[in-house]
Structure 1
Amino acid sequence: MLYVAWLSIIDPALNQQIRPAHLAYLNELYKKGQVVMAGPFPDGSGGLVIYRANSEDEARTLAEQDPVVAQKARTLTLKTWSPLDFPLPQ
């Protein structure tokens, strides 16, 4: 199952300080197949991570262990995501 984590920056200075650890964390999860895709919003307000996990609890644990969330530089909103298969039926 896929889960989307919306990570809004609430402490820009702390976020900048923790960002290298955040990127390293996401990179490790990507290598394990637990992160599908991630990236920042162009307006600088935060970013989005798509997790692959067996349950919402597992995805929440992964997201909450992200240094930017654990150290309260960003807030976390987590949603189960069901992407559409294309082409869509007519």
Structure 2
Amino acid sequence: MSSYLVLALRTPRFDATVVEPHRDFLRHLFDGGQLRESGSFTDGTGGAYVIEAESLDAATELAHADPLHTTGASELVVREWDITLSR
């Protein structure tokens, strides 16, 4: 398993009603052991989360199931991330 950083940047189509379904999505990933951490940007432009997956393709497929992506509320960027130091 590798770690992948998912950056979620709000688009002009962002609607606050997507926030709760997004949180439910993250809770599901967390409960399944795939979500390592998540959080929002303090300037309100989006957020990021770290997921565990077998490959970049698998991580991208997983992230693209996020309601932020499926509704067009945010653009997602997925990058493999070699975490070298963490608490």
Superposed CA deviations along residues 11-63 of structure 1, whole A, max 9, x for unmatched, are 3652x111100000000100101110011000101000101001111100110
* Percentage of matched positions with identical amino acids: 27
Q: Give the structure-1-normalised TM-score.
A: 0.88
Q: Which has the larger radius of gyration?
A: 1
Root-mean-square deviation over aligned CA pairs = 1.4
Q: CA deviation at 1:6?
A: 0.4
Segments of structure 2 that go 5 or more residues without pairing to the other structure are none
Segments of structure 1 that go 5 or more residues without pairing to the other structure are none
1:10 maps to 2:8: no
Aligned length: 85
Mapping for residues 11-90 of structure 1, pairs under 5 Å = 11=12, 13-14=14-15, 16-85=16-85
Q: Give the structure-2-normalised TM-score.
A: 0.91
Q: Greater share of helix residues, 1 or 2? A: 1
Write out the 4+ residue segments of structure 1 that deviate beyond 3 Å after TM superposition.
Answer: none
